[in-house]
């Protein structure tokens, strides 16, 4: 069974630029999550989708971050404009409803 | 906010059992305890989860106290590849099954 796919694996941008990350969840998983993991910390949930609807985006900085899951499968997370403090690993996870989450390898973002 | 507390770091000799403790004193009756681990530069990997009863799978055993306020993850025969950060998480059910990660326990398996 294929796992959660993410791309790109690494991205380096300058502050005030825009960036987008892509996630393809495990087939059949209705729930999709985006996390931000700053070096030395545990992952922090940014947004949770169930199918194409948002369940929780309370920790998403909505002035600069946006996410969508238009067809209830793939998802995109965007940052516009990026700040230095956005440097982190962005993790995508998916699950069946109410079950264990399975994580992708993450995208390491460096903002210069 | 994380609902769990774990020691910051632990060491374990290779081949011995690694026992990783976790406190979750405010856990609610229908909230599950999950354990994940994260090896450097990889995404977190699911290990095991439980509600009330002890659980065992091919990777580990999970012991949950009767009052459910704490649990222990047991890796029966630690290997060097078990060196990782281990996260104990309570899955919050009343708002959509979110996970709130703490900072975890950094386990180092020593040869």
Span A61-109, pLDDT tens digits: 999 999 999 888 999 999 999 999 999 999 999 999 888 999 999 999 9
pLDDT at A37 over 80: yes
pLDDT on residue B95: 66
Q: Which of the four pLDDT bands, split at 50, 70 and 90, describes residue A1? A: low
pLDDT means over runs of 10, chain B (111 residues): 87 97 90 94 94 94 95 97 96 76 93 95
pLDDT on residue B30: 84
Task: Give yes or no for A44 touching B (CB within 8 A).
Answer: yes
Task: Give yes or no for B101 touching A (CB within 8 A).
Answer: yes
The 8-class DSSP code of residue B59 comes to S
pLDDT on residue B100: 81
Task: Give yes or no for A93 touching B (CB within 8 A).
Answer: yes
Nearest Cα of chain A lies from the Cα of B46 at a distance, in angstroms, of 7
Q: Which residues in chain B (17-76) have CB-CB distances under 8 A to chain A?
A: 34, 42-46, 49
pLDDT on residue B1: 61
Task: Give yes or no for B9 touching A (CB within 8 A).
Answer: no
Nearest Cα of chain B lies from the Cα of A14 at a distance, in angstroms, of 22
Chains A, B: CB contacts within 8 A come to 47
Residue numbers in B near A35 (CB within 8 A): 101
pLDDT on residue B43: 95
- Smallest Cβ–Cβ distance between B43 and the set A48, A100, A104 belongs to A104
Residue numbers in A near B95 (CB within 8 A): 56
- Smallest Cβ–Cβ distance between A103 and the set B2, B43, B49 belongs to B43
Residue A27 phi, psi (nearest 5): -55, 130
- Smallest Cβ–Cβ distance between A106 and the set B43, B95, B104 belongs to B43
Mean pLDDT of chain A: 94
**Phi and psi based region of residue A85 (left: phi greater than 0; alpha: psi -120 to 50; beta: remaining):** alpha
CB A48 within 8 A of CB A54: yes
Strand partners, A44: A36
Which DSSP string do the residues of A79-111 spell out, in sequence order?
ESS--GGG-EEEEEEEESTTS--EE---EEEEE
Nearest Cα of chain B lies from the Cα of A52 at a distance, in angstroms, of 15
pLDDT on residue A62: 95
Q: Which helix (H) or strand (E) holds B19?
A: strand B18-23
Query: Which of residues A33 and A97 earns the better pLDDT score?
Result: A33
């Amino acid at each position: 069974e294929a796992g959660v796919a993410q791309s790109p694996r690494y991205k380096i941008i300058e502050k005030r630029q825009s960036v987008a990350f892509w996630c393809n969840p495990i087939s059949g998983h209705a729930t999709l999550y985006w996390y931000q993991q700053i070096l030395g910390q545990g992952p922090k949930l940014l947004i949770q989708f169930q199918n194409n609807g948002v369940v929780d985006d309370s920790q998403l900085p909505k002035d600069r971050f946006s996410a969508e899951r238009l067809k209830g499968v793939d998802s995109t997370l965007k940052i516009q404009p990026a700040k230095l403090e956005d440097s982190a690993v962005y993790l995508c996870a998916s699950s069946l409803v109410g079950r264990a989450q399975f994580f992708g390898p993450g995208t390491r973002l460096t903002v210069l | 906010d994380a609902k769990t507390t774990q020691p910051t770091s632990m060491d374990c000799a290779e081949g011995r059992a690694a026992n990783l403790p976790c406190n979750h004193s405010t856990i609610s009756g229908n909230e599950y305890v999950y354990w994940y681990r994260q090896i450097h530069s990889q995404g977190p990997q699911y290990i095991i989860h439980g509600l009330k009863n002890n659980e065992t799978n091919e990777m580990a055993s999970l012991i949950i106290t009767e009052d459910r306020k704490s649990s222990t993850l047991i890796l029966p025969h630690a290997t060097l590849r078990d060196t990782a950060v281990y996260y104990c998480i309570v899955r919050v059910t009343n708002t959509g099954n979110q996970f709130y990660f703490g900072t975890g326990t950094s386990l180092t398996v020593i040869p």
